Amino acid sequence: MQKKWIWLLGLLVLFTPELAFAAETEASLAAQLGWMTLIPPALAIVLAFITKNVVVSLFIGVYAGTIIVSMAGGENILLALVSGFTGFVQLALNSLADPWNAGIILQVLTIGGLIGLITKMGGARAVAESLTKYAKGPVSTQVITWVMGLLVFFDDYANSLIVGPIMRPVSDKMRISRERLAFVVDATAAPVAGIALVSTWVGYEIGLINDAYASIGQDVNAYGVFLDTIPYRFYNILMLFFVLVTSVSLREFGTMYHAQIRSRDEGKVIADDSQPMVDNDADEEPHAEGTIWNALVPIGALIVFSLSGFYTNGRDALLGSGDARLVGLVENAPFSFETIREAFGASDASIVLFQAALVASLIALVMGVAQKIFTVADGIDYWINGMKSLLITGAILLLAWSLSGVMTQLGTADYMVSLLSGSMPPLLLPTVIFLFGAVISFATGTSYGTMGILMPLAIPLAAALEPGNAEFVVMSAGAVLTGAIFGDHSSPISDTTILSSMGAGSNHIDHVRTQLPYAIAVASVSIVFGYIPSALGLNVWISLLVGLLAIVALVWILGKKVDPTEKIKQL
């Protein structure tokens, strides 16, 4: 099988010059290359599923992209192989040099160190034992995980990195597969942050809405439009409801059903041939019994300093923006809801979360030393060992960002958007926008990039197809925002999906493989019972209610009940 893929890659590389670069043209690279701009993400995604080695798959995808870029510049195959490798190195360096990306890497590693300290202090075990009093079965365990995901609404990264590690020991005890835990964590990360009234997403989404309306000469209350789009975020809302329904009913289907059966019958929360994202060596026995406060205080500090950091960092950004309205807002009403919302949206979440994780780590270190659980030197060693367990996560994120970089060079997203050209029946526009958002975000692994590409197209197009129909424009804007969430939630190269696998301790490809059927099922319900009826004129709240009922019917028709604790009860 692997030889066939090597031959296929070789043929693509060898024949690309004649197919794509025979004639010089002033057209954009996306127009020049056409479908070949899809080769890097397609290779990465397909190979990841076949080989189950996401690092190798991402490397091949990035390297294939840099080779194509080199050949587009007129180089022959031999020179392209060399310059393609140097291009890969440059992409990796540029990705790591980006302040946002560097902040995410530091945040991930630091939270890994924090988890290592909490584990050594017995905090993780104490939390697990405490939650066991309430999480007495698989239903309550998953519902508690779902509720925690809703509570950590302010940022999808923080959600994935906090909820997974806390619930993992309890979930394992209930024989809930790591794939299922990763799904619950992932489904309450981006889908929640994307519609939260205050989050690290809001500012970006509002900015896109405001600019798109400005392009058609309309001055609107962008936040008001954002609120109006929430009922049209069918995928976000229905996915959250889907998680709750499947958790309460214990009904599963597709590949998730088989994962749950394996965990129930064999007691294996991870498949034998799968490598979890988190090194099992990090889950060493604690040095002390510890109390629940050994976990709650550091994690509480992480949350408190994150929230305060979002405000202070964003406030400084607003004061330095030069926007008189925003500066006046901060100075005259520093703690109003509007100020807090604007500050959260303007903050640099990656830096804030790194700073908060570092402070929380210092607090955990002081607590451990004060309780004589370990010395300062030993505590630092435990912190570094905790970081080591997440090095693979950092490597995958770096490669995913490099893949995004080479796709930007190739114009992959531009090519995909160009397929939207031509006449479009108004009835189908919201559905088509949602589908393109889903496909682009899945292929590129970025929701922000997808929103930035489609929003400037969707709002003018909707306004042109349905003049005077403000609700139709809002519906189309909602389709952009929720379609972009699909890829952020389900793509194997999405950073949120990667972090959810890490937080839950699941194998990354196993997480994607079991989650994807659920994501596609909910997306289908969103179209059939959401966007199409709403575009026909059905009230959005009725469409949403019908969609919720359709989710219940879907779970009961396709799903089969799997009680993970059934074997435990028989022992």
3-state secondary structure 33-73: HHHHHHHHHHHHHHHHHHHCCHHHHHHHHHHHHHHHHHHHC
Model confidence at 265: pLDDT above 60: yes
Q: Which residue has the higher pLDDT, 200 or 372?
A: 372
168 vs 171: CA distance, rounded Å: 5
* Residue reference for tokens 């005077």: 468
Q: Buried b / exposed e across 483-492, counting CB within 10 Å, b at 16+? A: bbbbbbbbbb
How large is the average pLDDT for residues 410-431? 71
User: Residue 315: what residue type?
Assistant: R
How large is the average pLDDT for residues 244-272? 91
How large is the average pLDDT for residues 15-44? 59
Any domain includes 315: no
Model confidence at 25: pLDDT above 50: no
Q: Which residue has the higher pLDDT, 489 or 127?
A: 489
How large is the average pLDDT for residues 264-288? 69
> How many independent structural domains does the chain possess?
1
Q: Considering only 59-73, 310-324, 454-468, which range has the smallest mean pLDDT?
A: 454-468
Any domain includes 64: yes
Any domain includes 17: yes
Q: Residues 401, 88: contact at Cβ < 8 Å?
A: no
Mean pLDDT of the chain: 81
* pLDDT in the model for residue 436: 85
pLDDT tens, residue by residue, 469-527: 889 999 999 999 999 899 888 888 888 888 888 888 888 889 999 999 999 999 999 99
Torsion angle of the four alpha carbons 27, 34, 461, 212, in this order, in degrees rounded to the nearest 10: -70
* pLDDT in the model for residue 49: 67
520 vs 455: CA distance, rounded Å: 22
* pLDDT in the model for residue 282: 45
* pLDDT in the model for residue 271: 84
User: Residue 87: what residue type?
Assistant: G
Q: Which residue has the higher pLDDT, 371 or 17?
A: 371
Any domain includes 53: yes
Q: Which residue has the higher pLDDT, 256 or 110?
A: 256
Model confidence at 7: pLDDT above 50: no
How large is the average pLDDT for residues 342-346? 78
Any domain includes 326: no
How large is the average pLDDT for residues 548-561? 95
User: Which DSSP string corresponds to 367-397?
Assistant: HHHHTTSS-HHHHHHHHHHHHHTTHHHHHHH
Confidence of residue 1 (pLDDT cuts 50, 70, 90): very low
* pLDDT in the model for residue 231: 93
Confidence of residue 23 (pLDDT cuts 50, 70, 90): very low
Q: Which domain holds residue 66?
A: 2-97
- Please enumerate, as own/partner, the contacts of 302-307 that have beta carbons within 8 Å and a separation of 24 or more: 302/111, 302/114, 302/158, 302/162, 302/356, 302/357, 302/359, 302/360, 303/152, 303/158, 303/162, 303/356, 305/355, 305/356, 305/359, 305/360, 306/154, 306/155, 306/158, 306/352, 306/353, 306/356, 307/154
SS3 561: strand
190 vs 160: CA distance, rounded Å: 9
Residues in the chain: 571
Any domain includes 307: no
pLDDT tens, residue by residue, 347-388: 777 788 788 889 999 999 999 898 888 888 988 888 988 887
Any domain includes 68: yes
SS3 135: coil
Any domain includes 49: yes
Which of 107, 124, 106 has the alpha carbon at shortest distance from 115? Answer: 124
Return the top range by mean pLDDT from 35-44, 89-98, 107-116, 127-136: 89-98
Which of 391, 416, 390, 392 has the alpha carbon at shortest distance from 40? Answer: 416
Confidence of residue 230 (pLDDT cuts 50, 70, 90): very high
> What is the CB neighbour count within 10 angstroms for residue 6?
11
Model confidence at 419: pLDDT above 70: no
Tokens describing residue 194 = 């994307």
How large is the average pLDDT for residues 68-81? 82
Q: Which residue has the higher pLDDT, 398 or 175?
A: 175
